[in-house]
Structure 1
Amino acid sequence: MLWFSSDGTPRRTATRDGARMVSCSLFNFPSASQKTSSGEEIVVTMLQFWLAAVYSAAALVSAVSADDSYDAQAKAIVDTFSHAQLIGQMTQINIGAVIDSETGGLNETAVRENAKLFVGSYLNTDWSEPYEGKYGNNASEFREMIGRIQKISMSVTGGQPIIYGLDSVHGANYVDGSVLTPQQINAGASFNPDLLYEAGRMTARDTLAAGIPWIFGPILDISQNKLWARTYETYGESTYLSTVMGVALIRGIQSQNQTAACAKHFIGYSKTATGHDRTNVLMSDFELLNNHMPPHLAAINDANVLTIMENYISLNNEPVIANKKILVDLLRGDLKFNGALVSDYNEVMNLNMWHRVADDYEDATISSLTQTSLDLSMMDGTTTMPGTSVVNEFSFINAGLKLLKEQPDQEARIRQSVERIIKTKLKLGLYTNPLPGAELVSMVGNEKDKELALEMARESIVLLQNDDNVLPLSKKSSVFLTGPSADDVGYQCGGWTKFWQGVSGNDMFPNGISIRKGLGNLVGSNSFSYFNGLFINGSISNANLTKTVDLAGRHEFTIAAIGEETYAEKPGDIDNLALPKGFEEFIEALAATGTKVIVVLLEGRPRLLGSIPDNAVAVIDAMLPCELGGQAIAEILYGDVNPSGKLPISYPKDPANVDIPYNHLVTTRCAFDYCEMQWDFGAGLSYTNFSYSNVTLDKTSITNVHDTLTATVTVTNEGSRAGKEVVMLFLIQPIRRISVPEMKNLKKFEKIELKAGESKKVSFTLSYDDWSVYKGEIGAGLPKIVESTAYVVGIGADTDCNVYGDPSIKNGLCADFTIDASGAPAS
C-alpha cells in the first residue's frame, strides 16, 4: 500500500489481505508533527462547497450557537431536504463497503455513488488483520481517508458533512499509536470515576485526532450472567456502579466539545438466560426499570449524552429494533431523550436475517421505521452477515424511499429523525470544520497517557487470596514465571483491541508491557526464571510439562499467569464457565513440587477455577488491564503498589450460580439458603488492614419521603503502610410489597486513601431516589413508590446485616431506620 506523505512523496505502509493499495492525496494533511494550518486549509476547501449550496451560511452554520438554537438550525436545513436526502442521512455505511477489494485502497467511485444517495455516515476501521508489520491506521492516516470521504461527499451533496463513528471502547483502540486503557470491567473494579473521566478525555482526544467525532461507548449494560462474552465490556453487576462510571466516561468523552458519546445498549441486552450473546431476554418491566434503566437515565439527565444505540436482542420475544414500547414509549417518552438513536450493527436487516420476524430487508426496514424512533441504521443491507450469501443493495434506502412514497403520513416522523442527526452534526461543529482534531495529532500516545493507563490498571487489579500474607514478594525472592498469559500483551487486552476479536502476542503493542517485561523492569530479567509450554487452551506436551515442573521445583515461588484467549461478542460464546481442565492440572502439578504458586488471572469473565485456589497461596484477578497491565501486576506482586481493586461482579464457585448477582432476589436460594461464591461482589484485599466503626445515622425515622438521611462511618488504617479503600454503603428493604426485594443494593461508595494509623469519617447522604422504586409502568412517566416500612443500611461489602435472622444478633456496621410514606403524594 502506498500512502502519500504531507510533502507529496509516497511511503510504503501495510495493506489488508495481501492486497496492494495506491492512494492519492486530494490535499495536504497535517502530519503528527505539523501545525494545524494545513488542516485549516482543508476545512476552508470543504466549507466552500457548502457555502456554494442552497443554504444560507449565516443562518445555518453557527457551531457555537446557544443549545436552544440547534433545533431551529437543524429544522431549517432539513426543511429543504428531498425524500432521498432524508433517507440518505439515516444511512450509515461500513467503511469496508468503500474499500477496493483488489487494491485495499479507498474506492472513490463508491464514495461518490454513496454521496449521490446522500449517505450521511460511515463507521469502523477497514483493518481486520495485521499486514507487513502494520496493524491499522494511525491518526494521520485516518484523517487522510476520512478527509477524502468528506470532500467527495460534500462536493456532491451541496455541503452536507458525513459523521464518522468508531468503537473506541478502551482508549482509541483502533487508532494505531494511541495508548490503550484497561477494559470497562477493570474501570468498574477501580471504583474510581475520576480516573475514568480522564480516560474519557484521552479517548475522545485520540479519536478526534483521527478526524472521528463519534464514539460508540460506553456500554451501560448490567452484567447478569458470567458466561456472557461481553461481561468484560460492562462495569459489572451493580446498577449504581454502572451509573456512576457511565456518567464519568460520557462527561470525559464529551468534554472535548467536538466529540459525541453513544450510550449502549438500550436496553436489557445483558440479561441472557443462556449466557449466549444475542438471545431472547425475558424480563418484567419492574426489573427493566429498576435494574437496567438507571444508567441510561443518568446518561441523559446527568451527562447529556448526545447519542444512544439500541441492541441485538428480542425482549420478551419482540426485537428491540422494532419495539415501540422500548424505543418510543420508554426512550422518547419516559426518558425524554431527544438525541440521535442508532441501531446496532446490521440490526434493522436482522429482523429478517436473525429474528425472522420480517419477510425481507424491505419489510424489516419499514417495520423498524414505522414502529420505533430509530434515526440511523448502522449498515444499509449491502453487506451480509457471515455465513449468508444474501445481497440486496441499498435495502434500507430503497425501502425508506418506498415508505415515504406509499405512506406520506410517515414523512413528519422521518424528518424528525433527520433533524436529530443534523442537530448532532451541528453540535459537533461539522458544518464549520468537517475534519476536526488536526491540532491533536501530535498528542496521541504521549507519556502522560501511559501514566493514566498504568494508574487505571494499578487501581483495578484485585488481590483475592493471600495466604499467610505471602505477598508482597521480596525482590530477592526466588521466582519462576510461567503460563500462556505471562508474556502476551494481547491476552492482557482482550477483544476490541486493534481488531474486533482482539489479537495475541506483543508485536502490535509498542506501548505494551507484559508480566514478564514488568517483572524485568522491577527486579531485572536475570532475577527470575521464565518458561512456558502451556497453550491458552490448557494443553501442554509431556516434555514441556516436565520442564515446567522441574523449574518450579527449583524456586520458592511460581507465578502462573493463566486465563482466556481474546474474543468479542457472539464468537466468544461458551457453554461452560470452567477454565480448561488443563489449567487445573497444570497448577496442581506445580503445587506438588512444593513451590508456592501465585495465580494471576487474565480474563474477561470470572471463569470457574475448580481446585486452583486450593493449590495456590495467592490469587490475583487482573481481568483485562491491557497494555500497561504487566507493569501494574509486577508492581503489586512486589509491593511497589498496594492493591485497591474490588470485584465489580460476584465470582462464582460452581455452575449453579453463574447467573446469580450480588443483589439477587431473596427467593433466589441454593442449598442451605446461601449461594456460595468463590469471592463475593466487592471482595479485594490490601497489604494493609482497614477497620470500620461507629456507624451512625442522623435520623432513624423519616416522615417526609423527600427528606434526606446521612450515614457516617469511621474508617481506620490499622496496618503499617498507606492504602486505598473503597467504602461501600448498601441499602436493604427486608419487606417490600410491590415486588420481592433484593438481598441488598449498592447505593453509595467512596474510594479513600489513608496513611498508616490514619482514621477518617466517611459520610453518605441517602434520599428519595435511593429508597424509592419504579412501579414498572413503561409509558407512564416513570412513576415511583416509597413504602412505609423498615430499612437497613449496611456499610462494607462483606457486612451481613442478618435482616432475616435472630433480631437479638446485631452487627455494628448496620443501622435501621423507618419511613412513613402515608402522607406522600402519588408519584
Structure 2
Amino acid sequence: MADELWRDASLPVTERVADLLGRMTIEEKAGQLTGYWTVSAQPGEEVAPLPDDFGEPPPLDEVIRSGLGQLTRVFGTAPVRPAEGAARLRELQARVAAGNRFGIPAIAHEECLTGFMTWTATVFPCPLAWGASFDPELVGEMAEGIATSMRRAGVHQGLAPVLDVTRDYRWGRTEETIGEDPYLVGVIGSAYVHGLERTGLVATLKHFAGYASSRGARNMASAALGPREFADVVLEPFELALRAGGARAVMNSYADVDGVPAAADESLLTGLLRDRLGFTGVVVSDYFALSFLQDMHGVAGSPGEAAALALRAGIDVELPTVRCYGTPLVERVRRGDIPEEHLDRAAGRVLALKCDLGLLDDGWDIVEEPADFDPPELRGLARRLAEESVVLLANDGVLPLRARRVALTGPLADDPRAMLGCYTFPTHVAGRYPELSLGVEIPALAGALSAELPDAELTVAAGEDVMVTDADIEAAVAAARDAEVCVLALGDRAGLFGHGTSGEGCDAETLDLPGRQRELAEAVLATGTPTVLVLLTGRPYALGGVADRAAAVVQAFFPGEEGAPALAGILSGRLDPSGRLPVSVPRHRGGQPGTYLRARTGASSRWSSVDPRALFPFGHGLTWTSFGYEDLEVDASAPTDGTVRVAVTVRNLGERSGAEVVQLYLADPVASVVRPTRWLAGWARARLAPGAAARVTFEVHADRTSFTGRDLRRVVEPGTIEVAVGSSSEDLPLRGSFDLTGPERVLGADRVLTVPATVTATR
C-alpha cells in the first residue's frame, strides 16, 4: 500500500524499520526475536547441548502467526541432497511469509566452520589448519567459496568463525580455534569474515567472549579471566573481525566471566560491544543459551526471567528455537516487567538486517537451484588449504620417503574420518545414520599414500580403535619390523559430548595422546625401524619422549576431505611443507596451559621445578630447504602516535624452492604492567627459489605496542620496544629495538590493529 513506507526500498533502512515497528503488535515484535528448529533431533540425538526440562516448542504454524526471526539448519540437521534442501527451505519460507500479516520471511542460518555443514558439501580443513597456513588470502578465498554455495541455496547467515583464542589445549573445542595468538586469530578470522560478507552472507563471530578460557578447560565452565587478559587477548580478534571483516552478527559465549554469564551481561553485549566498539548488527544467542540462564547458571528462576535478563543485556535473537522469547517474553512485556523499548530495540535490529538482506522487498524468494555442493573448484580450495596447513615438525632426513618397503600403521592409517573435525556433517550429524555414506569422497591416508608411492611396497597395518588394542600394537610392531621405514598415523577421533577424543564436550584431562597411542608409538619406535609420526589431531599433544626418537614428525590439524592427498604429497616430497604451528606443541602431558604468550615469571626458572618450554614452539615449521636472515633495519624512533619501519632480507639457502613465513615479534622490556616476553606483531609468506632472496618490510604503528594499563585504559607508553625477526617464536636470529617518544597516549576504538607487510624480490 502507498502509505506503507517500510515497503519502499528507496527509503533509508531506519525509516523503513521505524514504520514497520510502529505497525507491529508486541507479539509480532517478539516473533522477530525467535528462531525455530524445523527438523529437531530425536530424543538422545545430540547435535547441540540440549536442556531436557523446558518442553518442546509449539508447532511451526502456531509460531509463525506472529512472524519468525530465523529458521535453524534446514540443511544441516538431517541428510538432504542439495535440491531437496532448497525445496524444503523454499516451502518453509513460503509458510513463514504467508503465516504473518506482513509477509516477511525468516533469516535462514547454517553452520559453516569447515564448509557448508550439510550432506554432500565440501569439507574444508578445521580452523587450527587455517591458522597453520598463515595465509589469510587463501582463507578468505575459501570463505567466499563456502558462502557462495550457501547463498545459492537460500541461506542468509553462517554461524562462523570461532574467534576464541586458544588458552588451554585440553579444551575439546581447541580444533575450532585458529590459534593461541590473538593477532593470528584476528587476521585469519577477519579474512574468513570478509570472505563470507562480500558474498552477502552474514558472518557470525563467536563466542563473545571468554569461552575458551574456562577453568580446567571444561566445556561451558566459568572463565578464569582478569579484565586485562580479557581486553588484550580475548577481545582483540573480535575487534579486528568487526572492523576489518565487517561482521553483521555476533553470538554470545556460554561461559560466565567472574560470575556473570555472557548472555545476561549488559556491560559486555551493550556497553562494550555496541557503545565502545560500535557494533550495529544482530546478537544471536548460542543454542539454548537463554534457557541455560535458568537451567545451568542459576541466575534466572523461569523462562520469563531469562528472557528479561537476555533482552536487557543485548541478545536480539533466541536460537535455535523459541523457548524464552515467545510467550514468556510477551507476558512480561505486557505486565510491564520488561520495557517495551527493549523489545523494540532488538526487533528493530533484526528487521534492519532483514532489510539489508532484501527480505522486506518483493522477490526475496528468488533462489538458484543448487546442484552440487562439492564442485571441483571448492575441492581445489580444500586441497590448497590442506597442503599449506601441514606442518613438518622434525626430520632427520628420512623425508621425503625414498624407501622401497614402507609400513603404514596406527589407528588412523586407513580411516577417512581421521581427516574430519567435530563441525563437519559426517561427524556432527551423519553418525546418527550409520547406513549413510560420508556424502563426499574422502580418501584415507592408506589409499593416498599408495597412489603417491606407486613403486614402493606399502604394507598397511591399520588399527581398529583410536584408543588402541593389544592386537593393534602387535600388528603395528610386526609391520614395522619388516619395513625400511614405518609411517605411524596417530591422533583423534572427533565427536560430540564425550563421543570422541576431540570436539565439543570432548575435553581432555591431560595432553597425553589418546588411549594407548603413546604405548603403541613406543613399541613401534623400539623396533629400531626409522619411524615417521603423522599426527591427525584437533589439539596439540605432548610428544616428549616420542618425537625425539622418531625419524620425522608431521602434524596435520583435521585437514578435511583433501587432507590425505596433501599429507601423502608431503611425505613423498612432491609438495613442499609450508605450515607453521598456530599452537605450541608441549613436551609434557601436564604442560597446560602452555601458550607462548606468557610473562617472564611463567618461563623456565630456578624458582620452579616445572619446565614449561614447548617441545615445538608457536610458529615453528620446517621445509625441504633452509632460510637465512640478514640486513635487519629498524627505524631508531617514532612518536607514540607514529610508525616504525622494520625490514629484513630472507634468503633460500638450499637447493629446493620453498615458502618461509617471516615472523616479526615485539617485546616491551619495561612497562607499567606485566607484559608477555614477546608477542607476534606481523608476518609475511615468502616463496623463494633456490638461492633467491626477498626484502620483507613491516610498517609497525605504535598502536601495536599498546596494552591495557593499570587504570584499564588502553595506552601506548613511551620507551624502548625490542624487535625480533625469524622463523618461529623461539628461532629469532635478528634482533633490534626502537624508541617511542613523546607523551603516553590513551587509545580509543579506532586504534591501528594491523601491521602491513610487503615482500619484494631482491638479489
Q: Tell whether the structures are fold-level matches, with TM greater than 0.5.
A: yes
Match of 1:693 among 630, 653, 664: 630
User: 2:425 matched to which residue of 1?
Assistant: 498
User: 1:621 matched to which residue of 2?
Assistant: 555
User: 1:478 matched to which residue of 2?
Assistant: 405
Shift of 1:299: 1.8
| Pairing 1:561–2:496 present | no
Secondary structure of the corresponding residue to residue 598 of structure 2: coil
User: 2:459 matched to which residue of 1?
Assistant: 529
777 and 209 in structure 1: CA distance in 2 versus 1, 3 angstrom threshold: farther
Whether the 8 Å CA contact 1:513–1:630 is kept in 2: the answer is yes
Structure 2 residue runs of 5 or longer lacking an equivalent are 45-55, 497-502, 749-763
Task: Give per-residue Cα distances to partners, 1:728-748, cap 9 Å, x unaligned.
Answer: 1011001111x2111111011
Amino acid across the alignment from 2:600: V
Whether the 8 Å CA contact 2:600–2:677 is kept in 1: the answer is yes
User: 1:598 matched to which residue of 2?
Assistant: 532
Match of 2:115 among 168, 171, 174: 171
Q: Note the aligned Cα RMSD (angstroms).
A: 2.6
| Pairing 1:192–2:121 present | no
Whether the 8 Å CA contact 1:722–1:756 is kept in 2: the answer is yes
Match of 1:420 among 349, 354, 359: 349
CA distance in 2, matches of 1:696, 1:331: 39
User: 2:36 matched to which residue of 1?
Assistant: 93
Whether the 8 Å CA contact 1:473–1:639 is kept in 2: the answer is yes
User: 2:262 matched to which residue of 1?
Assistant: 320
Match of 1:373 among 306, 314, 318: 314
Secondary structure of the corresponding residue to residue 562 of structure 1: strand
Match of 2:7 among 53, 60, 63: 60
User: 1:804 matched to which residue of 2?
Assistant: none
Shift of 1:591: 2.3
CA distance in 2, matches of 1:452, 1:533: 31
Shift of 1:758: 0.2
User: 1:735 matched to which residue of 2?
Assistant: 670
User: 2:743 matched to which residue of 1?
Assistant: 822
Residue correspondences, number: 723
Shift of 1:656: 4.1
Task: Give per-residue Cα distances to partners, 1:97-145, cap 9 Å, x unaligned.
Answer: 49999xxxxx9993212212423212125776xxxxxx71222222111
- For structure 1, which segment, 606-615 or 596-605, has the greater mean C-alpha deviation from structure 2 after superposition? 606-615
Whether the 8 Å CA contact 1:173–1:498 is kept in 2: the answer is yes
Task: Give per-residue Cα distances to partners, 1:770-798, cap 9 Å, x unaligned.
Answer: 122234777xxxx4311122110110244
Shift of 1:694: 1.1
Shift of 1:501: 3.7
Match of 1:681 among 615, 618, 640: 618
Secondary structure of the corresponding residue to residue 716 of structure 1: strand
CA distance in 2, matches of 1:126, 1:114: 21
CA distance in 2, matches of 1:683, 1:81: 57
Whether the 8 Å CA contact 2:173–2:505 is kept in 1: the answer is no
User: 1:611 matched to which residue of 2?
Assistant: 545
Whether the 8 Å CA contact 2:543–2:585 is kept in 1: the answer is no
CA distance in 2, matches of 1:58, 1:264: 35
Whether the 8 Å CA contact 2:172–2:504 is kept in 1: the answer is yes
User: 1:266 matched to which residue of 2?
Assistant: 208
- For structure 1, which segment, 504-513 or 140-149, has the greater mean C-alpha deviation from structure 2 after superposition? 504-513
- For structure 1, which segment, 500-509 or 299-308, has the greater mean C-alpha deviation from structure 2 after superposition? 500-509
Shift of 1:88: 1.1
Secondary structure of the corresponding residue to residue 615 of structure 2: strand
Shift of 1:763: 0.3
CA distance in 2, matches of 1:671, 1:825: 35
Task: Give per-residue Cα distances to partners, 1:613-662, cap 9 Å, x unaligned.
Answer: 13311110111101100000000000010100000011111144321211
1:148-297 map, 5 Å: 148-158=91-101, 159-174=103-118, 176-257=119-200, 259-297=201-239
Amino acid across the alignment from 2:315: L
Whether the 8 Å CA contact 2:652–2:693 is kept in 1: the answer is yes
Task: Give per-residue Cα distances to partners, 1:293-324, cap 9 Å, x unaligned.
Answer: 12111222222111110110001111111111
Normalised to the residue count of structure 2, the TM-score between the two structures is 0.90
CA distance in 2, matches of 1:470, 1:764: 36
Amino acid across the alignment from 1:456: L
CA distance in 1, matches of 2:295, 2:337: 28
Shift of 1:521: 2.4
Whether the 8 Å CA contact 1:188–1:648 is kept in 2: the answer is yes
Match of 1:642 among 552, 576, 580: 576
CA distance in 2, matches of 1:98, 1:110: 15
288 and 464 in structure 1: CA distance in 2 versus 1, 3 angstrom threshold: same
Whether the 8 Å CA contact 2:404–2:455 is kept in 1: the answer is no
CA distance in 1, matches of 2:715, 2:249: 30
Amino acid across the alignment from 2:629: Y
Shift of 1:356: 1.3
Shift of 1:452: 0.8
188 and 823 in structure 1: CA distance in 2 versus 1, 3 angstrom threshold: closer
Amino acid across the alignment from 1:549: V
Secondary structure of the corresponding residue to residue 278 of structure 1: coil
Whether the 8 Å CA contact 2:723–2:736 is kept in 1: the answer is yes
Task: Give per-residue Cα distances to partners, 1:241-300, cap 9 Å, x unaligned.
Answer: 11111110111111112x111011111111123011111112122211111112111222
Whether the 8 Å CA contact 2:510–2:590 is kept in 1: the answer is no
Structure 1 residue runs of 5 or longer lacking an equivalent are 1-53, 102-106, 129-134, 382-393, 802-810
Shift of 1:818: 1.3
Whether the 8 Å CA contact 2:547–2:553 is kept in 1: the answer is yes
Match of 2:658 among 718, 723, 726: 723
- For structure 1, which segment, 319-328 or 517-526, has the greater mean C-alpha deviation from structure 2 after superposition? 517-526
CA distance in 1, matches of 2:663, 2:184: 11
- For structure 1, which segment, 314-323 or 117-126, has the greater mean C-alpha deviation from structure 2 after superposition? 117-126
CA distance in 1, matches of 2:429, 2:42: 22
CA distance in 2, matches of 1:98, 1:596: 48
- For structure 1, which segment, 787-796 or 635-644, has the greater mean C-alpha deviation from structure 2 after superposition? 787-796
1:449-460 map, 5 Å: 449-460=378-389
Shift of 1:157: 0.6
CA distance in 1, matches of 2:746, 2:530: 63
CA distance in 2, matches of 1:555, 1:679: 28
Normalised to the residue count of structure 1, the TM-score between the two structures is 0.83
Secondary structure of the corresponding residue to residue 490 of structure 2: strand
Secondary structure of the corresponding residue to residue 274 of structure 1: helix
501 and 297 in structure 1: CA distance in 2 versus 1, 3 angstrom threshold: same
Task: Give per-residue Cα distances to partners, 1:423-454, cap 9 Å, x unaligned.
Answer: 11111122344445415x24531111111100
User: 1:746 matched to which residue of 2?
Assistant: 680
| Pairing 1:520–2:450 present | yes
Whether the 8 Å CA contact 1:430–1:436 is kept in 2: the answer is no
CA distance in 2, matches of 1:479, 1:319: 53
Shift of 1:363: 1.6
CA distance in 2, matches of 1:633, 1:317: 44
User: 1:708 matched to which residue of 2?
Assistant: 643
Give the fraction of aligned pairs with identical amino acids, expressed as a percent.
26
Task: Give per-residue Cα distances to partners, 1:335-393, cap 9 Å, x unaligned.
Answer: 111100011110011011111121122221122223x1110011456xxxxxxxxxxxx
